[in-house]
Amino acid sequence: MEKGNKIRIMHNQNRRHFLKSGTTLGATLFATSALSFSYDTRDLKSKKSTDLEYRTLGKGSHSMKVSSVGLGCMGMSYHRSFIPDRSNSISVIRKAYDMGLNFFDTAEAYGPYTNEVLVGEAIKPFRKNILLCTKFGFEFQNNKMTGRLNSDPKHIRKVVEESLKRLNTDVIDLLYQHRVDPNVPMEDVAGTVKDLIREGKVKNFGLSEAGPNSIRKAHAVQPVTAIQSELSLMSRDPVSEILPVCEELGIGFVPYSPLSRAFLSGFINERTKYNPENDNRPTLPRYQPDAIKANWTIVNFLADFGNQRGYTPAQVALAWLLGLKPYVVPIPGTTKLAHLQENLWSGNLRLSTSELKEINDFMSTVTIVGSRLAASRVR
């Protein structure tokens, strides 16, 4: 490999090693020759900052300067089988801040409600120094999702007031519509958020899983700062469908599930057991045993690619995202300090043009087995 083609990182040039084993819900993890790493966490407590680089989402008065990697907090309360000890999750959030991360993502739907309360408590010591994101757009009864969308203007206002209380803050830095509601004109949604911005309760507007038409309609009423949608090596449609619109309008892009719900990290396999009461993966075609086995060639590739450079499969997957555009900011989630460190070190990784081509060329030969969603959604 040419010297100029190596991934560069600003701190800690020592070889990084991957955990040989882990657990999901106290169950199964794998042993495979491709992932023959161990992981050194000795410097976790002593390291104060990764000096993360910063990126800009949006433009003009509705831009946000954020760390190149954010923290998705959902899995600390919702949809990831087990719920960690509360003090552990607070420690992870605060450690992320200590290490230079300033971009935290939650939503009323995560729990529901409990994740906002957790995040609000965790960020309290440094609230004014970070950027906080939450979302509206679902309907709930008896603390459970009904399955219905609701972006009625009155409902948006109700959600914002309740989220502000749970988050223990007086303003939301970035408010997303969680999913496009086909029953409410996008112009009405954007107009309501515009009013909330004027009132000082919200600073910036975002959309999640929105298509080009919805983005354009919203942006014409209230400038959109960021689009949050699933984007990873396993789910690349936004590269051709959404990023060109973001580029044209000056909107940032925030990939959720950038490690494909842990698949690209190599920490789940066809024998992994999930808690169906608190995990959406058993309902998704891509996480069925046969699909996982068929798609495992991608994990093997990432492991081989990373082995040559001293990085983990997850770091390579995140570095690929960061190499797409300067306004792309992934928000991997984690409940473990070791994985937090791993993810944040990715924030300063830069793949060369030839390395990006190598990854893209490989992915062009792969047919992904299993759709990412159980059903289509309005965009």
CATH class of 3-363: alpha beta
* Residue 15 pLDDT > 50: no
Q: What is the pLDDT of residues 116-145, one digit of tens each?
A: 999 999 999 999 999 999 999 999 999 999
CA distance 171 to 169: 6
* Residue 35 pLDDT > 50: no
**Which pLDDT band, with edges at 50, 70 and 90, does 50 fall under?**
low
Determine if residue 234 is left, alpha or beta; phi over 0 gives left, psi from -120 to 50 gives alpha, anything else beta.
alpha
Cα 134 to Cα 55, 204, 287, 298, 341, distances in angstroms: 19, 11, 27, 32, 24
Could you tell me which of 37, 112, 82, 5 has the C-alpha nearest to residue 265?
A: 37
pTM of the model: 0.87
- Give me the pLDDT at residue 4, please: 41
Per-chain mean pLDDT for the chain: 88
Cα–chain center distance at 349: 17
* Residue 14 pLDDT > 50: no
Rounded to 5 degrees, φ, ψ at 350 are -135, 120
* Residue 108 pLDDT > 70: yes
- Give me the pLDDT at residue 379, please: 80
- Give me the pLDDT at residue 377, please: 67
Q: Which residues are catalytic?
A: 110
* Residue 62 pLDDT > 70: yes
What percent of the chain lies above the pLDDT cut of 90? Answer: 79
Q: Check if the beta carbon of residue 149 is closer than 8 Å to that of residue 139.
A: yes
* Residue 208 pLDDT > 80: yes
- Give me the pLDDT at residue 18, please: 33
Determine if residue 198 is left, alpha or beta; phi over 0 gives left, psi from -120 to 50 gives alpha, anything else beta.
alpha
- Give me the pLDDT at residue 375, please: 75
* Residue 61 pLDDT > 80: yes
Q: What is the pLDDT of residues 272-322, one digit of tens each?
A: 999 888 888 999 999 999 999 999 999 999 999 999 999 999 999 999 999
**Which pLDDT band, with edges at 50, 70 and 90, does 351 fall under?**
very high
- Give me the pLDDT at residue 55, please: 98
Q: Check if the beta carbon of residue 165 is closer than 8 Å to that of residue 119.
A: no
Q: In the chain, where are the structural domains located?
A: 3-363
Q: What is the pLDDT of residues 239-268, one digit of tens each?
A: 999 999 999 999 999 999 999 999 999 999
